[in-house]
């Protein structure tokens, strides 16, 4: 049975949470496969707003099983805070609806301390990390000194692992970062209490998902961040600490590549990013601020204002290669139209963007009042391009709430997740977003 991956095609914050939430209505299992509590999916259902950081969006659908995969790094304090908040609202009353891979790594107090101290020392060269310890947790995973949920369940193994690791981390905190050392007994005791609450959720998620797919259950994989924040293929070093591409769902969820039956890429009609790093189409003016305010472009996790700018076709083309559009070339040059050279640029290089942004004004549309547009109703910048120039677009939305969607996005999954090549790319536009190149409103 189908396994669908939902990924962002920009620097994150494209509206993945909304699309994943809509698709989750037709899924039996929803899996988060990478990232940590630095991500945030904002879901609006009716008058109720929910921001999820670790738990998959399937939690808002009765009976849907949510799985935190082995590719996720989990801050247990953040997770329990999220669980408690959801339970107060009537969600997750059954422990069996939330499962955590025993191979997922724990974000520890020293990870947060190191992350925040390093960012302070970088000064003007800061990366823009959330300071939640995600990077240092992945570092320990790669260095093979990380602590996993499987270790947490074994009191003796956890105590030994914590003692060895904390000795090294405290030396680093004191001598290099000039920070205070952390107390071993306090961390051990705190995590023993956390073990009691989290143990019922810990399973071998890879085996669970394999059996679920074999039994014909529908599985949805949701990523965090976006393609351009991938640690290998994004705008390094201004990236996140994990692989954000659709292919990462296999390793981060624990399934074979041939189990993936479709990929849905999400993009906004303009571009945003949080933190430092290249942003060729950024608008550092009143128009950029208007996009931020109209689009409510503030981080769901940190509340930081997002940088806003025009839609970046080069970024979109680069992302499509990783989403699975084999027609997307490794370089793209748009033809001259009406005497205006619209785009002539190469893909991102290891050193950044080897391009000078060139733009064009295209017919736009204000989608804030639109429940959904499709076919001939698509804004001119999209409908005006031939099928050979763009991937098919089957969903346009002008609002953040669940009901503001094109009906195709909801109908296709109900027919068995028939995600062929013509429906793998969906677009969601936040409030105030327009189709490339024209002022909102």
pLDDT digits (tens, 9 = 90+) for 233-274: 888 888 899 999 999 999 999 999 999 998 888 888 889 988
Report whether 69 contacts 252 (CB < 8 A). Answer: yes
Numbered ranges of CATH 3.40.440.10 in the chain: 3-101+202-263
Q: Determine the Cα–Cα distance for residues 298 and 300; give it in Å rounded to an integer.
A: 6
Coil, helix or strand at residue 32 = strand
41 carries an active-site annotation:
yes
Q: Which of 132, 118, 151 is nearest to 78 (CA)?
A: 132
Q: Could you tell me the CATH superfamily of domain 3-101+202-263?
A: Adenylosuccinate Synthetase, subunit A, domain 1 (3.40.440.10)
Report whether 37 contacts 228 (CB < 8 A). Answer: no
Cβ neighbours, 10 Å, residue 125: 9
pLDDT of 337: 29
Beta bridge partners of 30: 66, 220
Q: Which two tokens stand for residue 247?
A: 């292919």
Q: Determine the Cα–Cα distance for residues 270 and 292; give it in Å rounded to an integer.
A: 11
Q: Which of 199, 221, 278, 241 is nearest to 39 (CA)?
A: 241
pLDDT band at 419 (very low <50, low <70, confident <90, very high): very low
- Phi, psi angles (nearest 5°) of residue 366: -90, 115
Q: Which of 21, 26, 28, 41 is catalytic?
A: 41
Q: Could you tell me the CATH superfamily of domain 105-198?
A: Adenylosuccinate Synthetase, subunit A, domain 2 (1.10.300.10)
pLDDT of 176: 95
Q: Determine the Cα–Cα distance for residues 227 and 175; give it in Å rounded to an integer.
A: 36
Summarize pLDDT for 147-202 with one digit per residue, the tens: 999 999 999 999 999 999 999 999 999 999 999 999 999 999 999 999 999 999 99
Numbered ranges of CATH 1.10.300.10 in the chain: 105-198
Position with higher pLDDT, 81 vs 46: 81
Distance, C-alpha 36 to centroid of its chain = 10
Q: Determine the Cα–Cα distance for residues 397 and 430; give it in Å rounded to an integer.
A: 7
Report whether 13 contacts 227 (CB < 8 A). Answer: no
pLDDT of 160: 96
408 carries an active-site annotation:
no
């Amino acid at each position: 049975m189908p396994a669908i991956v939902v990924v962002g095609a920009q620097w994150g914050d494209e509206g993945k949470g909304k699309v994943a939430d809509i698709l989750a209505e037709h899924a039996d299992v929803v899996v988060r496969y990478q990232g940590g509590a630095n991500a945030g999916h904002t879901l609006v259902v009716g008058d109720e707003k929910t921001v999820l950081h670790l738990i998959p969006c399937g939690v808002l659908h009765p009976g849907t099983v949510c799985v935190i995969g082995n590719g996720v790094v989990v801050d247990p304090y953040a997770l329990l805070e999220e669980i408690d908040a959801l339970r107060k609202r009537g969600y997750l009353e059954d422990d069996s609806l939330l499962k955590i891979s025993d191979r997922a790594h724990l974000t520890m107090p020293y990870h947060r301390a190191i992350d925040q101290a390093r960012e302070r020392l970088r000064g003007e060269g800061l990366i823009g990390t959330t300071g939640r310890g995600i990077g240092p947790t992945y570092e320990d995973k790669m260095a093979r000194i990380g602590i996993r949920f499987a270790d947490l369940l074994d009191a003796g193994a956890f105590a030994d692992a914590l003692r060895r690791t904390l000795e090294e981390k405290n030396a680093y905190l004191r001598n290099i970062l000039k920070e205070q050392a952390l107390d071993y007994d306090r961390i051990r005791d705190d995590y023993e209490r956390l073990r009691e609450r989290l143990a019922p959720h810990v399973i071998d998620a890879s085996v669970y998902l394999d059996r679920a797919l074999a039994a014909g259950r529908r599985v949805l994989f949701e990523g965090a961040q976006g393609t351009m924040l991938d640690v290998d293929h994004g705008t390094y070093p201004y990236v996140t600490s994990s692989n954000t591409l659709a292919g990462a769902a296999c390793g981060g969820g624990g399934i074979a590549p041939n189990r993936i039956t479709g990929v849905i890429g999400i993009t906004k009609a303009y571009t945003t990013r949080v933190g430092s790093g290249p942003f060729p189409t950024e608008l550092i003016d009143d128009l950029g601020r208007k996009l931020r305010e109209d689009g409510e472009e503030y981080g769901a996790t940190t509340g930081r204002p997002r940088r806003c700018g025009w839609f970046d076709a080069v970024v979109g083309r680069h992302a499509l290669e990783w989403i699975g559009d084999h027609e997307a070339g490794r370089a793209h040059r748009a033809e001259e139209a009406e005497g205006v050279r619209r785009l002539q640029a190469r893909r991102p290089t290891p050193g950044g963007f080897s391009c000078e942004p060139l733009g064009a004004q295209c017919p736009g549309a204000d989608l804030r009042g639109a429940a959904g547009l499709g076919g001939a109703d698509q804004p001119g910048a999209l409908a005006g391009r031939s099928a050979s120039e763009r991937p098919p677009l089957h969903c346009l939305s002008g609002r953040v709430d669940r009901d503001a969607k094109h009906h195709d996005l909801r109908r296709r999954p109900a027919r068995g997740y028939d995600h062929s090549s013509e429906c793998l790319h969906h677009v969601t536009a936040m409030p105030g977003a327009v189709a490339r190149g024209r002022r909102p409103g």
